[in-house]
Chain A
Amino acid sequence: MIDNIVDITLLSLIAIHAIAIIRMRSLFAVVMLFSGFSFLSALLFIVMDAADVAFTEAAVGAGISTVLMLATLALTYTSEEADKEEKEPTHNPWLPLSVVVITGGLLIYGTYNLPSFGDSNAPSQLHVAPYYLERSLPETGVPNVVTAVLASYRGFDTLGEVTVIFTAGIAVLLIIGGRRRVKPQVENRDSNRET
């Protein structure tokens, strides 16, 4: 009962956020609403007992990515047009709207075939999940099953993820690393990589 009320409240708040994000024209407000959206998703994950995912969503989705989007706003706008609004759309909304409605309808239709939430007979619960739940504590001595799976059973995947993050950092450095420089007249010092 109380679970249903919490779920419905959170989901309707998320829906309100989504509609507000679409309707808003001020980009600063949109970024803030994105942050709120992420926090609400984190709460939803908490309700579904996925504390680790909720943690990541709150820290990355609501925290870091909001800061980065604000930084992007600051980069792309000069200080005079800081509170500039997004331009009105010039295209007709009916084609994209129909595409979205049809896709959404198909996705909702698809959920009828999904096992219900927490169903113990769902295929995902019958494959390796029982093994992890039963054996991770005696085999690794780590009470948090998520950490045991992430770091030990799927250690190779996590190594790949860390490499992806590392690569992302290198890519950002290559594209916008360092301060913008006035283009020098002399050719290449090694310090000016971008033009």
Chain B
Amino acid sequence: MKHNLILRVVSKFLIPLIFLFALYVQFHGDFGPGGGFQAGVIFSATIILYALVFGVDNAKKVIPAYVLRLLASLGVLIYAGTGVVTMLLGGNFLEYGVLASSQVAGQHLGILVIELGVGITVMSVMLIIFFAFAERGRPALNVESESESELE
């Protein structure tokens, strides 16, 4: 799709907007519809759109594979870590009330943090799956420096 001018221009214009919308869905999820799951998927959709139009290699420069693996585990860590923090602060596992001075403020903070964890994990897992599929479809990489003529 390298030569498709209209697609390139339109997606360059759209990608920041979709990004912004993903952030809105992520951090506004407690007031409107949405939350970590949806925001993560929308977030990964921007990168997938970028990869489809500008090529997987360019997309991997934006987010390298090892960063995605780190982020995928970081999200789960943030979520479970919030639970551990509430335990250390004297509450039950994932009892957000102890995180701040009042019950309501603690709940709000806790929900925001775990939604962030959900969003990060969902975003990076979706991208990991997409990149795994995209990489697999390309011609085989020659580990040894032998000819790969049989696969061409």
Contact surface of A with B, Cβ cutoff 8 Å: 51-52, 54-56, 59-60, 63-64, 67-68, 71-72, 74-75, 138-144, 146-148, 150-152, 155-156, 158-159, 162-163, 165-166, 168-169, 172-173, 176-186, 189, 191-192
Contact = CB atoms under 8 A, between A and B. Distances in A.
Contact of A144 (B33, B69, B72, B126): B33
B104 A140 contact: yes
Nearest to A180: B140
Given A147-B111, A156-B93, 5 more contacts: A75-B136, A138-B104, A142-B108, A151-B110, A182-B148
B91 interface: no
Contacts of A74: 137
Interface residues of B, number: 61
B62 to A, nearest CB: 17
Contacts of B108: 140-142
Interface string B129-148: 11011111110111110101
A59 B143 CA distance: 38
The 7 residue pairs across chains A and B that have the minimum distance between CB atoms: A169-B125, A51-B33, A71-B133, A141-B104, A140-B107, A59-B41, A142-B30
B24 to A, nearest CB: 12
B107 A176 contact: no
Contacts of A67: 48, 52, 130
Given A140-B107, A148-B111, A182-B140, A56 B129 contact: no
Contacts of B111: 140, 142, 147-148, 151-152
B128 A55 contact: no
Contacts of B128: 169, 172-173
Contacts of B121: 162, 165-166
A192 B143 contact: yes
Contacts of A179: 135-136, 138, 140-141
A163 B41 CA distance: 16
Q: Which of B35, B52, B151 has the most CB of A within 10 A?
A: B35
A96 B144 CA distance: 50
A180 B141 contact: yes
A139 B141 contact: no
